[in-house]
Amino acid sequence: MVNTYWQSQTILFLKRANKYFPIIEPILKKNNIPDDFKYLAVAESGLTNTVSPSGAKGFWQFLKSTGKEYNLEINKEVDERYNLEKSTQAACDFFNKSYKKFSNWTLVAASYNMGMGGLNKQLKRQYTNNYWDLLLNSETSRYVNRIVAIKTILSNPDKFGFHVRQKDLYPFIETNSIEIDSTVSDFGLFAYKHGMNYKILKMLNPWLRNNKLTNKNRKKYNILIPKNNTRNFYIPDSLKITKDSLY
């Protein structure tokens, strides 16, 4: 009922899924995670880089401590909770760890909401190994149902009255990757030198949380830039500027 009658939200789910599921799906497949877990990301964040009241961030809503536990870099300049590829891999690592413990994908999904320890405590307390038999807190009790409801609607939107034209879906953006292993002192200038604006650079790389990257340890990072045929960022010679001319 919530997803059927909150039409604006569900239409946005459909539009965003067209853009982001092609990134999430192959990572799930590579890690032998059921494809349905892409709908968990919809339930968590609506496929946006949202921030929860508790400080969980990104599509997969990692807290800072949990993100670091699953090898995401988080500091003032880089926050990989906002990196869709890396945060999806971190989520897969959690799913596989949870599956080793519970041997049941429904329980894995529930554990993502309330934690493996909390779920295991309730399983022992209630003498069951079945999610559907558990009495849990209100959020986790409806969590798997929310995921199923989202899948049901997004898999067959016409049946539920959502008639979104293909041209109105958010397009998947094709990108190239630039590998860097040194300091970037000015991402505005970096973007300009690579034929795009600062806004597009940050839209494609929201994990870059500053306009510079110190990178003292010469760590390798992959920065996404749009393919030439994705959008035209050509700057005529007459409009080209130098850094000095900005001041």
pLDDT tens, residue by residue, 114-161: 999 999 999 999 999 999 999 999 999 999 999 999 999 999 999 999
102: confidence class by pLDDT, cuts 50, 70, 90: very high
Is there a single domain that holds both residue 107 and residue 135?
A: yes
Say what the pLDDT of residue 129 is.
Answer: 94
Say what the pLDDT of residue 233 is.
Answer: 52
Question: Which of 166, 190, 208 is the last residue before a domain boundary?
Answer: 166
Is there a single domain that holds both residue 160 and residue 60?
A: yes
Is there a single domain that holds both residue 32 and residue 113?
A: yes
Q: pTM of the entire structure?
A: 0.90
pLDDT in tens, 24-78: 999 999 999 999 999 999 999 999 999 999 999 999 999 999 999 999 999 999 9
Q: How is residue 166 annotated by DSSP?
A: G
Question: Which of 148, 166, 184 is the last residue before a domain boundary?
Answer: 166
| Listed residue (231, 138, 121) closest to 176, CA to CA | 231
| Listed residue (219, 195, 193) closest to 207, CA to CA | 219
Residue 57 maps to which CATH number? 1.10.530.10
Is there a single domain that holds both residue 97 and residue 193?
A: no
**In this structure, which amino acid lies at residue 206?**
P
Query: 179: left (phi > 0), else alpha (psi -120 to 50), else beta?
Result: beta
Helix, strand, coil percent values for the chain (each to nearest 5)? 55, 10, 35
Say what the pLDDT of residue 242 is.
Answer: 56
Is there a single domain that holds both residue 48 and residue 141?
A: yes
Q: Which domain covers residue 39, as residue numbers? A: 2-166
Is there a single domain that holds both residue 107 and residue 159?
A: yes
Is there a single domain that holds both residue 209 and residue 111?
A: no
- For residue 180, the cross-strand partners are 221
227: confidence class by pLDDT, cuts 50, 70, 90: confident
> In whole angstroms, what is the distance from residue 154 CA to residue 172 CA?
17
- For residue 57, the cross-strand partners are 51, 62
Q: Mean of the per-residue pLDDT values for the chain?
A: 92
Question: Which of 166, 199, 215 is the last residue before a domain boundary?
Answer: 166
Whether 199 shows a pLDDT value over 90: the answer reads yes
Number of domains in the chain: 2
Whether 243 shows a pLDDT value over 60: the answer reads no
Say what the pLDDT of residue 232 is.
Answer: 54
> In whole angstroms, what is the distance from residue 222 CA to residue 167 CA?
30
Whether 222 shows a pLDDT value over 90: the answer reads yes
| Cα angle: 107, vertex 28, 71; to 5 degrees | 85
Is there a single domain that holds both residue 104 and residue 184?
A: no
Is there a single domain that holds both residue 23 and residue 133?
A: yes
Say what the pLDDT of residue 71 is.
Answer: 97
231: confidence class by pLDDT, cuts 50, 70, 90: low
Tell me the two tokens of residue 116. Answer: 């493996």
Say what the pLDDT of residue 2 is.
Answer: 84
Is there a single domain that holds both residue 131 and residue 189?
A: no
Is there a single domain that holds both residue 209 and residue 102?
A: no
Say what the pLDDT of residue 72 is.
Answer: 98
